Amino acid sequence: MTLDAWFVIGAVVGLASTIVCVVAAVMKKKPNDITLLALIAVELFVVAYAIGSVVRLAGGQQLAGEAWEFWGYMFTAAMLPVAGFYWAMMERTYWSNYVMSAVGITVVVMLARMAQIWYGTGAIQASAPLQLGIGL
């Protein structure tokens, strides 16, 4: 798996969101602005990644794997924060923070799989400089 800037930034955002939500849950806090904003940050990253992926594909880059699989992961990763947000709005208990914390780490795992689909599976290797790969 090639570690590009998209994966690194996504991992930071997803893990930070998970940590914020776990801390709030352990402190038995109900979902609040901070935990919901952490979840929104994950969603905004996934949307930016989708746009960046379209730009990369339009610029001539190719997926090593199947396009339907990549976009299926992308769609699912985009829907997870929405589902977590909905859950938090419907169940206003500290348990919702645990559900929201699962969203961040799950999106990180999905980003790793999307990187494998984009670059091809194999050993972990860092791309030369960590670039967004937009090709501007």
Ranges in the chain, pLDDT < 70 = 1-2, 122-136
Supply the pLDDT for residue 110.
96
The pTM is what?
A: 0.85
Q: Give the integer Cα–Cα distance in Å for 116 and 2.
A: 7
* pLDDT at 136 (0 to 100): 44
- Res 123: pLDDT: 43
CA distance 4 to 38: 22
pLDDT of residue 121: 74
The reported pLDDT for the residue numbered 15 is 97
